Structure 1
Amino acid sequence: MVGLGADLDHLNIEEYLPEESIQAEPKKLHLNDFLDISPTLTEAAGAIIDDSFTRCFKSNPPEPWNWNIYLFPLWCLGVMIRYGLLFPLRLAILTAGWIVFFAAFLPVHFLWTGNTKWRCKIERKLVEMMCGVFVASWTGVVKYHGPRPSRRPQQVFVANHTSMIDFIILEQMTAFAVIMQKHPGWVGFIQKTILESVGCIWFNRTEAKDREIVARKLREHTQGADNNPLLIFPEGTCVNNQYTVMFKKGAFELGCAVCPVAIKYNKIFVDAFWNSKKQSFTMHLVRLMTSWAVVCDVWYLEPQYLRDGETPIEFAERIRGMIAARAGLKKVPWDGYLKYFRPSPKLTERKQQKFAESVLHRLEK
């Protein structure tokens, strides 16, 4: 029931009444006849109880286990180890990694005047190394299944999306060129100065012009034999690794092989979901660095092709079903962009009109 209660005060029921019913002598009505809106209330209550859209973007905290006198001291000891020992050690590893990375990357990126092919190869290896340092700073335990991706034309990799660390975990093994939303701050600096060296493409989801530019760049990138494998997160937003929302069709209408990648995190150690509306990426990384470990599985599935008579939307749903089955995710029929945009006013008006018609039906009786 979208926006129904907010605008009922402005709803003029007489607009929906026939003229003769307004002029006729009013009938004696029971209050229950007019106020019996149980179908509407049932719909609203059902939407509140079983809101499968909102549940896709909720982080489920683990159940507390330090509830008695025996377990509480162990919990306190764990907190001291994670924050007093592991976090400073991980921060030192990350800092040292950045120093080494910039000392090698900046001269190669800005001062190299030799063979461009060798420069790109060195930059790719340095980006992979830096992503490996990030994973080490979380004590990441990542198990990869399936053949390692290779650089070939006419292919694109698609994966479910839980956090920006999905890209880091995949990038430490293979230098992907990712399609990513533009970010401000230090993340934006890394995007512009470092990740563009591996062919990444940036966009702003609020700019319609960017969509046309990105679509053109996608087609151009898939044609190059020497380009890094193209990685796309077709959900378009971070989901909590329990559900998977609808895939955008852009990656599935390029006319090339689509290689599904399924990512599943173990929530026993930490919930890797990044709720960008409530937490900055910096604080998200701090939470990972103060956890015990980031444990996950990555499956590289068999390449898939568009079948005869299959539309790009049906192709996207078939790939989404493969990823959901492999990672144990629940499919929901929602567009992830609803997380950023309000529902259409037409949907609200349709609900209001339906409610008014139900009231009129009872008045006629």
Structure 2
Amino acid sequence: MRKNNPKSQSTELELDQPNIEDYLPDGHPIHQEPRGKLRLCDLLDISPTLSEAAGAIVDDSFLRCFKSIPSEPWNWNVYLFPLWCFGVVVRYFVLFPARVLLLSFGWMIFLSAFIPVHLLLKRDNNLRKNIEVFFVASWTGVVKYHGPRPSMRPKQVFVANHTSMIDFIVLEQMTAFAVIMQKHPGWVGLLQNTILESVGCIWFNRTEAKDREIVARKLREHVQGADNNPLLIFPEGTCVNNHYSVMFKKGAFELGCTVCPVAIKYNKIFVDAFWNSRKQSFTKHLLQLMTSWAVVCDVWYLEPQNQKPGETSIEFAERVREIISQRAGLKMVPWDGYLKYSRPSPKLKEGKQRDFADLVLRRLEEK
């Protein structure tokens, strides 16, 4: 039997290595190196680049803001698993049908009186609240409200952290608001157009650049109306997983109004109320809530804030964000939530590629 020659194996491995010279233009100074051909293994120490890439993957605080964080499993043993199975049966075959019936009953009452409701919705807040109670009851909402609610005055803007579309329902059942919200397709969009617009809600489409100017104009017009419902704005602009808070958009803080911060914190003891709109539709999210034991959350009405002399709208927004984050126990991160809906800029990628190419050339010239 022929024995393997380690030296010949090493030679074969080196021959398999690509020549760096093959990737360089003719006349490059590297070609005149007297020490012979350079191999890829002699190119450079890539540990700094690898460290940067690994750090970006492991400690990406931006992506962590929009991921559901699963709770620790508790039912995978012989004692608790039967109880968990019993709970599944109760949630899906007892609670869920009862909640569907309750929600259907509420919709029947609403639709049978749609015209008078539509005419009176702006004036009769009690009627509106009774309708929204059916939504909260359909997922057994256990909501605790803390602090005195600010009195309804003109030129007020309410701002809150954003976890799901149910944030609006949780706050709306206690106080009349006109919300600023992303336009949605399907049956949610139908509700926006036919029902929620009657309370003065304003919709936008983040993919349309012109919508920003239109929404800014509508905001200024709305706060000037004495009879309009106060604005409710989620300045983050997207749903965050209730563990972090991303940058607040400055639009709500440059209207010259009193800003009333509202902090919302959901308890994951029964269900995670975070809506990951990139992975699930609102229908699926609502089904998840309706098949849980309950949706538990706390709402804090915090002290109204006014812009200080010399304070910019961005600084004002960050100060209010810090107040809300501290009360709700959220970690502040310096990211724009709209990056969730966009890909990295080509200029950013080209800049990284250019930096890496410069590093390669410098190392080649040092050889």
Length-normalised TM-score, structure 1: 0.90
Match of 1:96 in 2: 105
Contact 2:117 2:127 in 1 (8 A): no
Partner residue, 1:36: 45
1:45-56 to 2 correspondences below 5 Å: 45-56=54-65
Post-superposition shift, 1:104? 2.5
Q: What does residue 150 of structure 1 align with? A: 151
In structure 2, the partner of 1:364 is 365
Could you tell me how far apart the structure 2 residues matched to 1:205 and 1:26 are?
Answer: 59
Q: Give the SS at the match of 2:87.
A: helix
- Offset of residue 265 of structure 1: 0.2
Q: Flag structure 2 segments of 5+ consecutive residues without an equivalent.
A: 1-21
Q: What is the CA-CA distance between 1:273 and the residue it aligns to? A: 0.3
Query: Residue 348 of structure 1 corresponds to which residue in structure 2?
Result: 349
Q: Using the alignment, how far apart are the partners of 2:23 and 2:247 within structure 1?
A: 38
State the distance in 1 between where 2:72 and 2:285 align.
20
**Structure 2 match to 1:164:** 165
Per-residue CA shift, 1:24-43, capped at 9, x if unaligned? 44545565441421101100
Deviation at 1:126, TM superposition (A): 3.0
- Is residue 152–residue 226 contact of structure 1 (8 Å, CA) maintained in 2? no
Provide the secondary structure at the position in 2 that maps to 1:310: coil
Which whole-Å CA distance do the structure 1 matches of 2:201 and 2:350 have between them? 42
Aligned length: 344
Equivalent position of 2:212 in the other structure: 211
Structure 1 residues 108 and 330: CA distance shift in structure 2, 3 A: closer
Contact residue 147 and residue 302 of structure 2 kept, 8 A: yes
**Structure 2 match to 1:61:** 70
Relative distance call for 1:108 and 1:47 in structure 2 (3 A) is closer
Q: Cα 1:338–1:26, aligned 2, differ >3 Å: closer, same or farther?
A: farther
Q: Deviations over 1:299-336 (max 9, x none)?
A: 11111111122111111111111111000001111111
Superposition deviation, residue 106 in structure 1 = 2.2
Report whether the alignment pairs 1:83 with 2:123.
Answer: no
Q: Distance in 2 between matches of 1:47 and 1:246?
A: 20
Q: How does 1:1-365 map to 2 (within 5 A)?
A: 14=24, 21=29, 24-25=32-33, 27-28=35-36, 29=38, 31-109=40-118, 120-122=122-124, 124-365=125-366
In 1, distance between residues paired with 2:142 and 2:278?
27
Q: Any idea what SS the aligned residue of 2:298 has?
A: strand
State the percentage of identical aligned residues.
Answer: 75
Shift of 1:160: 0.5
Q: CA deviation at 1:127?
A: 2.8
The CA distance in 1 between the partners of 2:273 and 2:253, in whole Å, is 27
User: In 2, distance between residues paired with 1:310 and 1:39?
Assistant: 40
Q: Distance in 2 between matches of 1:197 and 1:51?
A: 41
Secondary structure of the residue that 1:262 maps to in structure 2? strand
> Equivalent residue of 2:123, what SS?
helix
Whole-Å Cα distance in 2 between the matches of residues 261 and 13 of structure 1?
59
Deviation at 1:178, TM superposition (A): 0.2
Q: Which amino acid aligns with 1:56?
A: C
Query: What is the CA distance between 1:64 and its match in structure 2?
Result: 1.7
- Whichever residue aligns with residue 109 of structure 2, its letter is V
1:343–1:31 distance in 2 versus 1, CA, 3 Å: closer
Q: CA deviation at 1:23?
A: 6.3
**Letter of the 1:21 counterpart:** P
Q: Partner of 1:261: helix, strand, or coil?
A: strand
1:9-68 deviation line (CA, Å, top 9, x unaligned): xxx9758x9x76256445455654414211011000011110111111111222221211
In 2: Cα distance, 1:27 partner to 1:236 partner:
59
Change (3 A) 1:261 1:119: closer
- Using the alignment, how far apart are the partners of 1:27 and 1:145 within structure 2? 76
Shift of residue 141, structure 1, vs aligned partner = 0.6
RMSD: 1.9
Give 1 or 2 for the bigger CA radius of gyration: 2
Following the alignment from structure 2 to structure 1, what is the Cα–Cα distance between the partners of residues 74 and 114? 45
CA shift for structure 1 position 183? 1.0
Q: Is the 8 A contact 1:150 1:229 kept in 2?
A: no
Distance 2:139 2:158 in 1: 25
* Structure 2 CA distance for aligned equivalents of residues 294 and 324 of structure 1: 21
Superimposed CA distance per residue, residues 223-278 of structure 1 (whole angstroms, 9 cap, x where no aligned partner): 12221110001111100000111111111111111111110000011000001111
SS in structure 2 of the partner of residue 44 of structure 1: helix
Provide closer, same or farther for how the CA distance between residues 211 and 26 of structure 1 changes in structure 2, counting only shifts above 3 A.
farther
Q: Extract unaligned runs of 5+ from structure 1.
A: 1-11, 113-117
Do the aligned residues in 2 keep the contact of 1:94 with 1:134 (CA within 8 Å)? Answer: yes
Distance 2:205 2:269 in 1: 34
SS at match of 2:143: strand
